[in-house]
């Protein structure tokens, strides 16, 4: 099967990895007898402790990223068997329900190639992108670096994107497939099919599809986002305005008060002009911001968000800080590679910035989403108690493998039951602490 999917026109590293490396051969992936089911279950320890380390050993960071997306795109990756979330994990947000509070952050599936494979791993929220209006290659390689001792990465991708039209084509084909299935269900005499009617662009009950919008390197700081809202609105449950990547010149300047307020007002107006998405609802607007902000700047962003009447804020993107990080990595050249750092060392910075943001938003209807350095259930609960309605992760997924979402959900469920609480009951629990 792999020889059909990986041709001589495929990138060299894919041909080497999939066709030549024995750990990825059909034989050694255990696509036989009883071992097959074990290997293909995302919960299997072999994924975290054997396959992921081996992939890291034979690929550089960007090659490993592309390989992971490739395997998921073509159905060669594990999936989560028996994915049934405990009721204590249920989240109420944007007038909808999420089965659990664990989301995949933007940056992994930049081009919308493996949406369903990510949902199959237990994520209730998948955010694709960032996507720019026109195709652009991003920054020159190498631009993605691993810090394995810290379970961190540094990236300076620079909004590498295939552009709006390529991703839109993929989303349209996906939507047509699911809407045809919906039509069959609606006309069926089988009540169970009708009961499974979905109401989100995830085309799965209690899950949401978000689309993260960026601007071209030389694009217009207003029009690029307006185009994104207009074009992707019909296919999104949530639209995210990314003004915080450190790898696009001048982008973070859009976080300044006047510019951000103006941008967000225009974006909200464009959203309001939409007829609705494919399922007849208008997607909420979020803005994703950086952790490298002063408290005054965070307060200003909160005020801009309230004035523009957006729906929420994601805190945070990657950090450009290095001096304040407690790193085990000693290679100074690696540590000082230009770009944004993400992974476990980001958590303390991101959580501190999040708490400041909560301070200036808890009197509003703004939904706050925690992101940055989250790698286990304890991290997720810390963000929830600080005010996060749900959380997102990415870098930990690259290190821990396809079973991470399930593992975190199990850890959260266990802790919540010890406290005799639900996820919704712990959101903002720290608000009254001095």
Tens digit of each residue's pLDDT (9 = 90 or more) over 138-177: 999 999 999 999 999 999 999 999 999 999 999 999 999 9
- What is residue 183's predicted lDDT score, i.e. its pLDDT? 78
- What is residue 279's predicted lDDT score, i.e. its pLDDT? 75
- What is residue 288's predicted lDDT score, i.e. its pLDDT? 97
pLDDT, averaged across the chain: 90
Determine contact, residues 289/243, Cβ cutoff 8 Å. Answer: yes
Least-confidence region, from 195-199, 286-290, 359-363: 195-199
Residue 231 clears pLDDT 90, i.e. is over it: yes
Residue 302 clears pLDDT 90, i.e. is over it: yes
Among 124, 130, 161, 245, the active-site one is 245
Q: Residue 371: is the preceding peptide bond cis (ω within 30°)?
A: no
Mean pLDDT on 242-257 = 92
- What is residue 40's predicted lDDT score, i.e. its pLDDT? 87
Residue 242 clears pLDDT 70, i.e. is over it: yes
List domains and CATH numbers for the chain. Answer: 82-425 (3.20.20.70)
- What is residue 188's predicted lDDT score, i.e. its pLDDT? 66
- Concerning whether 44 is annotated as a catalytic residue, the answer is no
Q: 34-40: list long-range contacts, CB under 8 Å, 24+ apart.
A: 37/81, 39/78, 40/78, 40/79
Confidence of residue 7 (pLDDT cuts 50, 70, 90): very low
- What is residue 24's predicted lDDT score, i.e. its pLDDT? 43
Q: Express as a percent the part of the chain with pLDDT over 90.
A: 81
Confidence of residue 26 (pLDDT cuts 50, 70, 90): very low
152-155: strand order across its sheet: 144-147, 152-155, 340-343
Q: 319-323: list long-range contacts, CB under 8 Å, 24+ apart.
A: 319/290, 319/291, 319/292, 319/346, 319/349, 319/350, 319/372, 320/246, 320/292, 321/291, 321/292, 321/349
Residue 212 clears pLDDT 80, i.e. is over it: yes
Mean pLDDT on 171-191 = 81
- 434 or 112: whose pLDDT is higher? 112
- What is residue 22's predicted lDDT score, i.e. its pLDDT? 40
Residue 282 clears pLDDT 70, i.e. is over it: yes
Cα–Cα distance, 5 to 16 (Å, whole number)? 13
- 234 or 182: whose pLDDT is higher? 234
């Amino acid at each position: 099967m792999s020889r059909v999917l990986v041709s001589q026109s495929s990138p060299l590293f894919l041909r080497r990895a999939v066709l030549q490396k024995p750990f990825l051969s059909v034989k050694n992936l255990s696509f036989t007898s009883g071992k097959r089911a074990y290997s293909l279950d995302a919960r299997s320890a072999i994924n975290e402790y054997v396959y992921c380390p081996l992939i890291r050993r034979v690929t550089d960071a960007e090659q490993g990223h592309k390989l992971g997306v490739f395997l998921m795109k073509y159905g060669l990756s594990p999936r989560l068997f028996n994915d049934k979330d405990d009721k204590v994990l249920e989240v109420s947000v944007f007038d909808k329900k999420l089965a659990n509070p664990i989301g995949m952050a933007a940056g992994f599936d930049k081009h919308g190639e493996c949406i369903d494979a990510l949902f199959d791993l237990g994520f209730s929220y998948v955010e694709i992108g960032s996507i720019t209006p026109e195709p652009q290659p991003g920054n020159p390689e190498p631009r993605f670096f691993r810090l394995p001792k810290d379970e961190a990465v540094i990236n300076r991708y620079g909004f590498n994107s295939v552009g709006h039209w390529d991703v839109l084509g993929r989303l349209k084909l996906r939507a047509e497939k699911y809407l045809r299935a919906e039509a069959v269900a609606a006309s069926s005499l089988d009540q169970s099919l009708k009961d499974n009617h979905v109401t989100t662009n995830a085309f799965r009950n209690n899950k949401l599809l978000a689309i993260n919008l960026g601007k071209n390197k030389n694009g217009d700081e207003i029009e690029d986002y307006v185009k994104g809202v207009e074009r992707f609105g019909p296919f999104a449950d949530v639209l995210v305005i990314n003004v915080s990547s450190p790898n696009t010149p001048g982008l973070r300047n859009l976080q300044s008060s006047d510019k951000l307020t103006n941008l967000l007002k225009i974006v909200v107006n464009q959203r309001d002009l939409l007829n609705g998405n494919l399922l007849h609802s208008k997607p909420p607007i979020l803005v994703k911001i950086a952790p490298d902000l002063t408290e005054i700047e965070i307060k200003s962003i909160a005020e801009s968000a309230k004035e523009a009447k957006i729906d929420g804020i994601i805190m945070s993107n990657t950090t450009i800080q290095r001096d304040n990080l407690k790193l085990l990595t000693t290679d100074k050249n690696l540590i000082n590679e230009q770009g944004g750092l993400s992974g476990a060392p980001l958590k303390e910075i991101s959580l501190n910035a999040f708490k400041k943001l909560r301070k200036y938003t808890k009197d509003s209807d703004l939904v706050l989403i925690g992101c940055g350095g989250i790698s286990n259930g304890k991290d997720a609960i810390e963000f929830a108690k600080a005010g996060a309605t749900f959380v997102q992760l990415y870098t930990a997924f690259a290190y821990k493998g396809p079973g991470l979402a399930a593992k975190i959900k199990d850890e959260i469920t266990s802790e919540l039951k010890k406290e005799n609480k639900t996820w919704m009951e712990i959101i903002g629990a720290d608000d009254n602490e001095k």
